[in-house]
Structure 1
Amino acid sequence: MAINKFMKLALKALSYPDIDIRKTYQLQRSLQNLAAPKVSPHKQDWQDHIVVSEGRKILTRIYFPLQQKAEGTLLFFHGGGWVTENIDTYHKVCTALAQATRHRVVSVDYRLAPESPFPNGLEDCYAVAQRLFLTPKSFGFAPGKITLVGDSAGGNLAAAVSLKARDEGIFSVERQILIYPATYYDHSDASPFPSVKENGSDYLLTSRRICEYIDLYKRNDDDLVDPYFSPLMAEDLSHQPDTLLITAEFDPLRDEGEAYALKLQEAGNHVILYRMKDALHGFMSLGIGYVHVRRAHDLINTFLNRSEQHESVKPLA
């Protein structure tokens, strides 16, 4: 559905709350938890699983496609600016993803900033990935092909896990799906990306809010140029997974995501880039009643089913 002038006015009005997330993130978490769907105790299609790493317990939730044999496993990292959201607030997203793709989805409840700043959340995601790749039987199933998936801050974490996996050499990631990922550190007026200015004030997620999330996530300014914090800063992007990268037309993060796709391709990786027309940041949380979600599921299925064929970055629609 196209964004008409009346919708633009409504979005603009909603994009100017006088709230600093750095001061109100705990309240934001509480409101999100209240709005989260009530998870049924009759767990026919999901189960919780604990991964223990270096003495800490990392909660994961495994979703199963109902009445279908799982064709593989998606390791999912949720969005929320590294500060908000959790596996409960993403329950519907992961349930829908499992049913639409006929894959198991393993969602990770990683530690959040500012209580646990960079790289703590990344370490949780990497620890779960390492366990899933190296000892899949510990999850109680044979995972088949494993694909990393993340949206927004979760897309940032998926990209960082792939980089870290290459650098550490302990396991190899073959595929990743990055949905409107954060890949760069500067979302101020000095940003080199036009989408920060074009989409940074009138489309719900503002550039100011992204800057606040970055401030909460980082330990200090040195983190900003760390490739695991800002994947676009990586000097070497060779030997990265086959990648599907989906951006949203009216998203401040659009251009940095597309720049990351192009840089991956230039480094010799196989990449499919798709800009979702008329979409806002965060559209995956809207539910399958929305055309953008259904289209994203179709793109993901096409990518997952292309086992041997490769496709390079396509011209943007």
Structure 2
Amino acid sequence: MTLEDQASRVIAQLNALGRPTFQDVGPQRARKGFEEMPPAGEFVDVASTQDRTIRGPDGNDIAVRIYRPGDGAATADRNGALGCLVYFHGGGWVVGSIETHDRTCRSLTMLAGVVTVSVDYRMAPEDPFPAPPNDCCTATQWVCDNAAELGVDPQRVAVGGDSAGANLAAAVALMCRDGAARGDACAQPALQVLIYPVTDFDRDTHSMIANAEGYLLTRDTMAWFDDLYCPQSQRKNPYAAPLAVDDPSGAAPAFVIVAGHDPLRDEGVEYAQKLADAGVPTTLVEYPGQFHGFFGMTRFLDQAHEAQEITALAMGRALSPALGD
């Protein structure tokens, strides 16, 4: 299928800029350039935001931003406790921040009626695997341990993210499942929201070859991210490559979005199928005419609005209070 009309115009405009690639400029300049890009998402007012710092697993500091939806939120129970989304930003584990994904978090907060906790985890190459998933798992546990203060129900916490952030959300879902199996006091997410997730390090899939160039994320950039993030010796570790897990049964229910013109499309579909085959309730939604990164581009793409709305509906179903609460 060809690109959807609005997507085609956006891609043409981006390609016409002729910007250097991330790998051409290196991590530091790539981060600066990514932060300075004009926001592609619409600004949505929330009731409040709060920036905090929590203690990480290695004594490090983790910055988080907490978004509140205000009175009358759809996930509020009769005591006022809300559902919660712990969100991990995309950017290949190398670029991105709570600032670059602020508008996506604002939108999901209001559409789903949840508290959103956006996590500024450590990034490669300074802090490669396993630092990012360890930070994300710690942040998820912090939300559950501090649920009363945050005004959320610890039984109604989802993890989610886009791209590398979705990889981290999938990893956290597996880490929490494994921790619970060991008898650890580990939070079990009610849902994992995976927006065009990285699930493997195979850069020779059909979608990786077919969409290698011209659709914002390239095959070469993805390989560069991989090399900065994860050593070869760890690339079959399910917390780095969730698709490598032998049996994902018992993991949180999943909501997965993929895009047809995305190098990561096939591994997202394959992971959704692996979850479903293992009995994990899984919903897979594909946007055949879209590209990697479209989800946050609500200023330009009607289908970005639609994708955020159906994601919020899935979150609402998973995080709504039980009858009688």
TM-score, normalised via structure 1 length:
0.86
Instruction: Please name the residue that 1:25 is paired with.
Output: 27
Change in Cα spacing, 1:6 to 1:233, as seen in structure 2 (3 Å) is closer
Verify: 1:86 aligned to 2:94, yes or no: no
Instruction: Please name the residue that 1:148 is paired with.
Output: 159
Q: Is the 8 A contact 1:74 1:147 kept in 2?
A: yes
- 3-state SS of the aligned residue for 2:214? coil
Instruction: Please name the residue that 1:312 is paired with.
Output: none
Instruction: Please name the residue that 2:53 is paired with.
Output: 50
TM-score, normalised via structure 2 length:
0.84
Verify: 1:118 aligned to 2:107, yes or no: no
Cα distance in 2, alignment partners of residues 53 and 102 from structure 1: 28
- 3-state SS of the aligned residue for 2:309? helix
Verify: 1:278 aligned to 2:256, yes or no: no
- 1:19: Cα distance to partner? 3.4
- 1:70: Cα distance to partner? 6.0
Instruction: Please name the residue that 2:178 is paired with.
Output: 167
Cα distance in 2, alignment partners of residues 50 and 182 from structure 1: 27
Cα distance in 1, alignment partners of residues 270 and 16 from structure 2: 28
Cα distance in 2, alignment partners of residues 67 and 5 from structure 1: 35
Instruction: Return the match for 2:220 from 197, 201, 208.
Output: 208
- 1:290: Cα distance to partner? 2.3
Instruction: Return the match for 2:210 from 198, 209, 224.
Output: 198
Cα distance in 1, alignment partners of residues 318 and 15 from structure 2: 45
For residues 43-84 of structure 1, the C-alpha deviation after alignment (integer angstroms, 9 at most, x for no partner) is: 952111222134222110011124543621111000000000
- 1:259: Cα distance to partner? 0.2
Instruction: Return the match for 1:63 from 67, 72, 79.
Output: 67
- 3-state SS of the aligned residue for 2:121? coil
- 1:101: Cα distance to partner? 1.4
- 1:89: Cα distance to partner? 1.2
Change in Cα spacing, 1:175 to 1:87, as seen in structure 2 (3 Å) is same
For residues 259-290 of structure 1, the C-alpha deviation after alignment (integer angstroms, 9 at most, x for no partner) is: 00000011111110010131110112212552
Matches within 5 A, 1:2-41: 2-3=4-5, 7=9, 10=12, 13=15, 19=21, 21=23, 23-35=25-37
Per mean C-alpha deviation after superposition, the further-off stretch among 270-279 and 61-70 is 61-70
- 1:17: Cα distance to partner? 5.5
For residues 171-195 of structure 1, the C-alpha deviation after alignment (integer angstroms, 9 at most, x for no partner) is: 22221110000001021xxx2x211
- 3-state SS of the aligned residue for 2:152? coil
- 1:305: Cα distance to partner? 3.4
- 3-state SS of the aligned residue for 1:92? helix
Cα distance in 2, alignment partners of residues 114 and 235 from structure 1: 28
Instruction: Please name the residue that 2:119 is paired with.
Output: 108
- 3-state SS of the aligned residue for 2:198? coil
- 1:91: Cα distance to partner? 1.0
- 3-state SS of the aligned residue for 1:177? strand
Cα distance in 2, alignment partners of residues 178 and 244 from structure 1: 6
Question: Given residue 51 of structure 1, which amino acid in structure 2 is its aligned partner?
Answer: I
Verify: 1:99 aligned to 2:110, yes or no: yes
Change in Cα spacing, 1:284 to 1:9, as seen in structure 2 (3 Å) is closer
Instruction: Please name the residue that 2:239 is paired with.
Output: 228
Q: Is the 8 A contact 1:12 1:202 kept in 2?
A: no
Q: Is the 8 A contact 1:14 1:204 kept in 2?
A: no
Unpaired segments of 5 or more residues in structure 2?
A: 76-82, 181-185, 321-325
Q: Is the 8 A contact 2:272 2:282 kept in 1?
A: yes
- 3-state SS of the aligned residue for 2:287? strand
For residues 17-45 of structure 1, the C-alpha deviation after alignment (integer angstroms, 9 at most, x for no partner) is: 553527522112112233366xx9x9952
- 1:102: Cα distance to partner? 1.4
Change in Cα spacing, 1:236 to 1:201, as seen in structure 2 (3 Å) is same
Cα distance in 1, alignment partners of residues 98 and 199 from structure 2: 22
Q: Is the 8 A contact 2:251 2:280 kept in 1?
A: yes
Instruction: Please name the residue that 1:183 is paired with.
Output: 199
For residues 162-212 of structure 1, the C-alpha deviation after alignment (integer angstroms, 9 at most, x for no partner) is: 10111111222221110000001021xxx2x21111111121111111000
Q: Is the 8 A contact 1:205 1:281 kept in 2?
A: yes
| 4+ runs deviating over 6 angstroms | none
**Alignment RMSD (CA, Å):** 2.8
- 1:155: Cα distance to partner? 0.3
Verify: 1:263 aligned to 2:274, yes or no: yes
- 3-state SS of the aligned residue for 1:225? coil
Unpaired segments of 5 or more residues in structure 1?
A: 310-317
Cα distance in 1, alignment partners of residues 61 and 6 from structure 2: 47
